[in-house]
A and B are shown apart, each in its own frame.
Chain A
Amino acid sequence: MTGSNKTIGRRGLLKGGAALGAAGLAAPTFFTHSARAEMHSGYLNAPTGKSVTLGFNVPQSGPYADEGADELRAYKLAVEHLNGGGDGGMMNTFSSKALTGNGILGKKVEYVTGDTQTKSDAARASAKSMIEKDGAVMITGGSSSGVAVAVQALCQETGIMFMAGLTHSNDTTGKDRKANGFRHFFNSYMSGAALAPVLANAYGKDRKAYHLTADYNWGYTTEEAVTQATEGMGWETVNTVKTPLTQTDFSSYIAPVLQSGADVLVLNHYGGNMVNSLTNAVQFGLRDKQVNGKNFEIVVPLYSRLMAKGAGANVKGIFGSTNWHWSLQDEGSKAFVKSFGTKYGFPPSQAAHTTYVQTLLYADACERAGTFNPCGVVEALEGFFFSGLGNGPTIYRKEDHQCFKDVLVVKGKENPESEFDLLEVVEVTPMSKVWYSPDHPQMGGADATLGTCNTGA
Chain B
Amino acid sequence: MFGLNRNDTLLLIVVALLTMLAPFLLNPFPEGSSLAQFNGGYPDLMQRFVIFGIFAIGFNILFGLTGYLSFGHAAFLGVGSYAAIWMMKLLTMNVVPAIIISVIVAGLFSLVVGYICLRRSGIYFSILTLAFAQMSYALAYSVLTPITGGETGLQPKLSDPRILDAAIGSGVTPRANFFGIEMGTSWQWDWNGWVFTFNAGYYLAAVIMLVAFYLSIRIFRSPFGMMLRAIKTNQNRLNYTGVNSKPYTLAAFVISGMYAGLAGGLLVAMDTQVGPERMFWTASGEVVLMTILGGVGTLIGPVLGAGLIKYMENILSKINEGLLQKWFAFMPETAGDAVVTVLGLFTGKGWHLTLGLLFMIVVIFLPGGLVEGGKRLFGIGRRKKKAPPAASPPPTTTPAE
Would you give 15 A-B contacts (Cβ < 8 Å), ordered by A?
Answer: A7-B184, A18-B189, A22-B191, A61-B352, A115-B349, A124-B273, A125-B44, A133-B39, A145-B151, A146-B152, A150-B153, A150-B275, A169-B152, A218-B151, A220-B150
CB contact under 8 A between A146 and B275, given known A60-B348, A244-B138:
yes
Please encode chain A, from 312 to 349, with 1 for each CB lying within 8 Å of some chain B CB and 0 for all others.
Answer: 00000000000000000000000000000000000000
Which residues of A are found within 8 Å of B145, using beta-carbon distances? 217, 220
Residues of B within 8 A of A26 (CB): 190-191
Q: Do residues B317 and A132 form an inter-chain contact, with CB atoms below 8 A?
A: no
Q: Is the CB of B181 closer than 8 A to any CB of chain A?
A: yes
B384: shortest Cβ distance to chain A, in Å?
42
**With A449-B171, A451-B172 already in contact, 20 other A-B pairs whose C-beta atoms are closer than 8 Å:** A5-B182, A6-B185, A18-B188, A19-B190, A22-B190, A65-B349, A120-B273, A120-B277, A128-B43, A132-B42, A133-B39, A149-B153, A150-B155, A157-B175, A220-B145, A244-B142, A245-B141, A451-B170, A452-B171, A454-B173
Residues of B within 8 A of A6 (CB): 182, 184-185
* CB of A344 to closest CB in B, whole Å: 14
Contact among B173, B188, B273, B348 for A8, CB-based, below 8 A: B188
For residue B271, CB closer than 8 A to chain A, the reply is yes
Q: Does A419 interact with chain B (Cβ within 8 Å)? A: no
A160 an interface residue at 8 Å Cβ cutoff? no
Cβ–Cβ contact A120 & B275, under 8 A: yes
**A256 to B374, alpha carbons, bound, how many Å?**
62
A171 touches B349 (CB 8 A): no
A397 interface contact, C-beta 8 A? no
Least Cβ distance of A21 to chain B in Å?
Answer: 7
A216-B275 CB under 8 A given contacts A1-B180, A18-B188: no
Contact B152 A176 (CB under 8 A): yes
Expressed in whole angstroms, the Cα–Cα distance for A176 and B318 within the complex equals 28
Interface residues of A in 1-26 (CB under 8 A from B): 1, 5-8, 10-11, 14, 18-19, 21-22, 25-26
The proximity string for A residues 107-138 relative to B, scoring 1 for CB distances below 8 Å and 0 otherwise, is: 00000111100011110111011001100000
CB distance from A31 to the nearest CB of B (A): 14
CA–CA, A111 to B141, complex, Å? 33
Question: Is the CB–CB distance between B181 and A145 below 8 Å?
Answer: no
A179–B172 Cα distance when bound, in Å, is: 11
B197 within 8 A of A: yes
Residues on B with beta carbons closer than 8 Å to the beta carbon of A60: 348-349
Is B320 engaged at the interface, CB distance under 8 Å to the other chain? Answer: yes
Q: How far is the CB of A406 from chain B (nearest CB, A)?
A: 28
Contacts of B180 on A, CB cut-off 8 Å?
A: 1
Cβ contacts under 8 Å, B153 to chain A: 120, 146, 149-150
Question: How far in angstroms is the closest Cβ of chain A from B287?
Answer: 14
Name the residue of chain B whose CB is nearest to the CB of A216.
Answer: B151
Compute how far the CA of A144 lies from the CA of B151 in the bound complex, rounded to whole angstroms: 10
Contact across chains for A217 and B150 when beta carbons are under 8 A apart: yes
Could you tell me if B314 and A8 are in contact, using CB atoms closer than 8 angstroms? Answer: no
Interchain CB contact (< 8 A) of A10 among B184, B188, B313: B188
In the complex with contacts A149-B152, A157-B173, A215-B141, A115-B317 CB distance below 8 A: yes
Q: Which residues of B contact A125 (CB under 8 A)?
A: 44, 48, 313-314
Q: Does B195 contact A (CB under 8 A)?
A: yes
B191 to chain A, nearest CB (A): 6
A158 within 8 A of B: yes
Residues of A within 8 A of B43 (CB): 128, 132
A114 close to B317 (CB less than 8 A): yes
Interface string of A425-453 (1 = CB under 8 A from B): 00000000000000000000001011110
Tell me, in angstroms, the Cα distance from A60 to B344 when the chains sit together.
13
Roughly how many angstroms separate A316 CA and B184 CA in the complex, as a whole number? 52
Chain B contacts of A65 at CB under 8 A? 349
Q: What residue of chain A has the Cβ atom nearest to residue B46's Cβ? A: A132
- In the assembled complex, how far is the CB of residue A401 from the closest CB belonging to chain B, in whole angstroms? 14
A121 touches B44 (CB 8 A): no
Interface residue from A7, A150, A176, A179 paired with B171 (Cβ < 8 Å)? A179
Q: Mark B299-330, 1 if CB is under 8 A from A, else 0.
A: 00000000000000110011010000000000
Q: In whole angstroms, how far apart are the Cα atoms of A259 and B212 in the complex?
A: 59
Contact A216:B314 (CB < 8 A) given known A18-B189, A129-B45, A157-B175: no
Residue B233, interface by CB 8 Å: no
How far, in angstroms, from A33 to B138 measured CA to CA in the complex? 52
B318 touches A153 (CB 8 A): no
- Chain A CB count within 10 A is highest, among B31, B271, B277, for B277
Interchain nearest-CB distance for A428 vs B (Å) = 31
The answer to whether A451 and B171 have CB atoms under 8 Å apart is yes
Q: Return B247 CB to nearest CB of chain A, in Å.
A: 35
- Contact A132–B44 (Cβ < 8 Å): yes
CA distance in complex: A7, B189 (Å): 13
- Please tell me which one of the listed residues A7, A176, A220 contacts residue B186 in the complex, with CB atoms under 8 A apart: A7
B173 touches A156 (CB 8 A): yes
Q: Tell me the bound Cα distance from A171 to B155 in angstroms.
A: 13
From A124, A133, A169, A216, give the contact of B271 (CB < 8 A).
Answer: A124
Interface string of A213-248 (1 = CB under 8 A from B): 001111010000000000000000000001011000
Q: Decide if A360 is an interface residue (CB 8 Å cutoff).
A: no
Contact partner of A25 (CB less than 8 A), chosen from B184, B192, B280, is: B192
Please give me the residue from chain A that is nearest to B317 by CB atom: A115
Decide if B159 is an interface residue (CB 8 Å cutoff).
Answer: yes
Instruction: Answer whether A215 and B44 are a contact pair too, CB < 8 Å, given A5-B182, A5-B185, A176-B152.
Output: no
B190 with A61: CB separation less than 8 A? no
A42 to chain B, nearest CB (A): 16
A258: min CB distance to chain B, Å: 26
Contact A121 B42 (CB under 8 A): no
Q: Are A21 and B189 in contact (CB under 8 A)?
A: yes
Cα distance A295–B143 in the bound complex, in angstroms: 35
Given contacts A176-B152, A216-B150, contact A114 B318 (CB under 8 A): yes
Docked CA distance A193–B102 (Å): 43
Cβ of A29 within 8 Å of any chain B Cβ, yes or no, is yes
A156 to B158, CA, bound (A): 12
Chain A hits for B187, CB < 8 A: 8
The answer, among A19, A120, A158, for a CB contact under 8 Å with B152, is A120
Q: Are A121 and B278 in contact (CB under 8 A)?
A: yes
| A218 CB contacts on chain B under 8 angstroms | 151
Chain B positions within 8 Å of A171 at CB level: 152
Min CB–CB distance B25 → chain A (angstroms): 16
Alpha-carbon separation in the docked complex, A80 to B294 (Å): 43
Does residue A154 face the partner (Cβ distance < 8 Å to B)? yes
Contact, CB under 8 Å: B190 / A10: no
Write out the residue numbers on chain B whose beta carbons fall within 8 Å of the beta carbon of A220. Answer: 145, 150
Most buried by A among B48, B151, B158, B159: B151
List B contacts of A245 (CB < 8 A): 141-142, 151
The answer for the CA separation of A171 and B145 in the assembled complex, in Å, is 14
Q: Specify which of B45, B152, B159, B313 is in contact with A447 (CB 8 Å cutoff).
A: B159
Q: What 0/1 pattern do residues 138 to 168 of B give for CB contact below 8 A with A? A: 1001100100001111010011000000000
A124 to B81 Cα, complex, angstroms:
15
Q: Are B190 and A29 in contact (CB under 8 A)?
A: yes
Assembly CA distance A14 to B190 (angstroms): 8
Interface bits B175-212 vs A (CB < 8 Å: 1, else 0): 10000111011111111100101000000000000000
